[in-house]
Structure 1
Amino acid sequence: MPRLVHDRLTWLIYAQLGVWGFFLYGFGPVVPLLRDEQQTTAAVASLHSTALAVGALIGGFSFARLTARIGRARTLWLALAGVAGGVLALCLLRPIAATLTAVVVLSTFGIILVSSVNVALAEHHGAASSAAISEANAACAGMGVLAPIVIGLSVDAGTGWRPALAVQAGLIALVALAAVAFRIRVPQGAPAVPAAAETRPGRLPRSYWIAWALMGVTGSIEVCLSLWTADVLRSHAGMTPGAASATVASIVAGMFLGRVVGGRIALRVAPIPLLLGALAVSTVGFAVFWAATAGWLAVTGLVIVGFGNAMHYPLAISIALAVAGDQADRAAGYSSYSMAVGFGIAPVLLGAVADGVGPHRAFLLLPVFIAVAAVLAARLGRSIRLRPAPAPAPA
């Protein structure tokens, strides 16, 4: 059985992804509040998700090129600086064109950050990378639990969502100070090389592209829940805007628990059976949430949904990187394109349907996404047989 070693570098990488989680899971509850401020329809407000998709495309295109020129360590810190700048811009600007632009910037650097973290953990932990990536995403979800709560409290206190979201920049500064204080260096990884020296990479295997599609579908599930759950809670469970925004944290709380537990299970259970089990849990949780008219029952369903969703992305990306072999940077960059598809299409589709039939009925799209993800996971299981790499030596 592979062994997961928690050295100082691992904890730093967890923290770097964790601060991204504050924005990633805090932004969903902000979208309905932005819609109220900017007086737009649900479909127009969902363009902020399209902006996430555009940024994901730019970030995915840029990642491998940046690492080839400045190395992974500098790329990672550049990404964190870009996220901090994007958050401050989003909090300071109010017109919809400006907020959309800020979200593009945030998503661009956020995707570069996520790609850097995934590749660093995959290389550092080898056969235990599924568990490491799961735990890193648990840190991301752990910070994400706080964000909706802080935003909801800030809204109910009358100060709005902007001061709460701006906390992100301070968290990034604290992580940078900790890295300096404890003298933790991220491995530079790929050396800087001139463009003329780059060779044409080989083709990624078919199994990678199945995993790629799987990430797009499961990403659609997660982003739709993040962006539109607050609206369903307001319209179907009778919650106030502040309470609905804070309650979105229950999804992330479930994801945090699921990733902590799932990281341990991933050391013992093969990825595909674990992924199919996670999709089944998501289905049960969604059914409870969708049928609930009482707030406490809706929250219960959301925690279960989050628990199931927890392992979708960590398992899919770890499989994708494993089958990519020595093309990890390229595979990580391309994976962001699948997330862009999920971010850009699914929430806009759901928003357009919600304008016609209401957000509650529109949410019936999510079981369809779950079913498609299950079919892809089964197909992926038939197309690959992952061979564990030797466990890394303790650092």
Structure 2
Amino acid sequence: MGPVRHPVTRTPAVLGLYAAFGCLGYLLAGLGAILPELRAERDLPRGEAALYPSAFALGLVVVGLLGHRAAARLGRHALPAALSALVGGAAILALGDGRLGTGAGALILGLGGAGLVQLVPAALRADGDGGAVAIGEANAVSSAASVLAPLLVGAALAAGLGWRAAFAGVPLAAAAVPVVLLLRRAAVTATAAPADPGGRAPRAFWNRWADLVLAVAVEFCVLFWAADFLHTVKGLESGTATTASAAFVLGMALGRSAASRAVRLGEERLLIGAPAVAAAGFAVFWTVPQPAVALAGLLVTGLGVALLYPLILAAALEEWPDRPGRAAARCALASGVAIGTGPPLLGALADLAGLRAASLLAPVLLLVLLLRRVLSAR
């Protein structure tokens, strides 16, 4: 019999956590939406354009290794500081002059995003239900916000406004509310906890950690390269391709909005069924030449991918309950490893063999994850 899932208490502090994750989702999807524009502006090969996600991933790695100590020092200010770094990095990326400024913005954005990846799930475990439902709802908010990013970037491009206002302006305005909520509510216990004394993670935690790397790598390979694929392979105009790539995050938003009901099916069933659904959707997206049918496949891919991250993350945190801060930091490290290797590898392969062939990296990772879960269930 599995653990009892208690209802989530949606206090103002919890809603602030959800809103902070919403800003993160918007900017991550926005980073994928603007990659074709950055490539065109600076005449970059795909491998070099992928360095911007790599800079973001470097921030995740730094926080994954050291974030639990920084959170203990900052206390109640850790979450507002992370959110401020997130949106500040986005502004620097948008306004930075040259590759150095843009890369620095991506790094700062990554540091802030990694702080949220570390702190928000741990805070939800302490402040509410603490399981897959609360984390799933936060990710549903993040996914819903991420749907807006390619739509607004595409609309800004179509209107001749450029991508910068949609990418950086919207989250800068939206971040004010969660910052105020999180500053006023110091009761988010995960940020106020003292530094843990260390200790080795259980073997079961590292098993979940490896699954998390695979799931996040798939998610970001599709997120960062879907717009380019739709433009290069499916032949859509650049702005239209950016807007149409929202099908993936729309599928993720729909999947994560059903998290509280889906978990009743059982974690292992979902972790076997979800990768299979995502792989089937990707097969349609990759093979069918008609854009409308391909977009339906992309949406199904998002539905399949949607629950992988919140389910695996919640399971990983449960495997190391006596060190929540360190466990959350190591999970942020998993995201950094995934984002720092998956999308850049896909970009490098695309420069060598073409984007169509390189994009098969995503279903290969899905199949590896599926095989691991099938063997684990047995």
Q: TM-score range by the shorter chain?
A: over 0.9
Q: How is 1:44-63 mapped onto 2 (pairs within 5 angstroms)?
A: 44-63=48-67
Residue 137 of structure 2 contacts residue 256 of structure 2 at CA under 8 Å; is this kept in 1?
A: yes
Paired with 2:39 and 2:260, the residues of 1 have a C-alpha distance of: 37
Q: After the TM superposition, list the runs of 4 or more consecutive aligned residues in structure 1 that deviate by more than 6 angstroms.
A: none
Alignment RMSD, CA only?
1.8
**Gapped regions of structure 2 (runs ≥ 5):** none
1:176 to 179, 185, 188: 179
Residue 74 of structure 1 contacts residue 188 of structure 1 at CA under 8 Å; is this kept in 2?
A: no
Is 1:159 matched up with 2:161? Answer: yes
Q: How is 1:82-121 mapped onto 2 (pairs within 5 angstroms)?
A: 82-121=85-124
Shift of 1:186: 4.1
1:244 to 219, 235, 241: 241
The 1:380–1:292 alpha-carbon spacing in structure 2 relative to 1, beyond 3 Å, is same
- Identity between Structure 1 and Structure 2 (%): 34
Is 1:334 matched up with 2:330? Answer: yes
Is 1:21 matched up with 2:22? Answer: no
Q: Which amino acid aligns with 1:15?
A: A
The TM-score normalised by the length of structure 1 is: 0.90
Shift of 1:353: 1.4
Shift of 1:372: 1.1
Q: Which amino acid aligns with 1:187?
A: V
SS in 1 for 2:39: helix
Paired with 1:351 and 1:33, the residues of 2 have a C-alpha distance of: 15
Residue range with higher mean Cα deviation, 84-93 or 369-378 = 369-378
Paired with 1:292 and 1:192, the residues of 2 have a C-alpha distance of: 52
Residue 83 of structure 2 contacts residue 179 of structure 2 at CA under 8 Å; is this kept in 1?
A: no
Look up the match of 1:319. 315
Residue 139 of structure 2 contacts residue 256 of structure 2 at CA under 8 Å; is this kept in 1?
A: yes
The 1:240–1:120 alpha-carbon spacing in structure 2 relative to 1, beyond 3 Å, is same
Shift of 1:184: 4.4
SS in 2 for 1:201: coil
The 1:356–1:76 alpha-carbon spacing in structure 2 relative to 1, beyond 3 Å, is same
**Gapped regions of structure 1 (runs ≥ 5):** 383-395
Look up the match of 1:390. none
Residue 237 of structure 1 contacts residue 292 of structure 1 at CA under 8 Å; is this kept in 2?
A: no
Q: Which amino acid aligns with 1:81?
A: S
2:213 to 210, 216, 219: 216
Paired with 1:192 and 1:125, the residues of 2 have a C-alpha distance of: 16
Paired with 1:94 and 1:191, the residues of 2 have a C-alpha distance of: 38
Look up the match of 1:140. 142
Per-residue CA shift, 1:23-79, capped at 9, x if unaligned?
A: 0111101111101111111111111121122111112123200222232x3111110
The TM-score normalised by the length of structure 2 is: 0.94
The 1:192–1:335 alpha-carbon spacing in structure 2 relative to 1, beyond 3 Å, is closer
Paired with 1:61 and 1:333, the residues of 2 have a C-alpha distance of: 7
Paired with 1:84 and 1:257, the residues of 2 have a C-alpha distance of: 25
Per-residue CA shift, 1:125-145, capped at 9, x if unaligned?
A: 34x610111111000000000
Look up the match of 1:389. none
Q: How many corresponding residue pairs?
A: 373
Q: Which amino acid aligns with 1:83?
A: L
Look up the match of 2:357. 361
Paired with 1:145 and 1:204, the residues of 2 have a C-alpha distance of: 35
Residue 17 of structure 2 contacts residue 178 of structure 2 at CA under 8 Å; is this kept in 1?
A: no
Shift of 1:191: 4.3
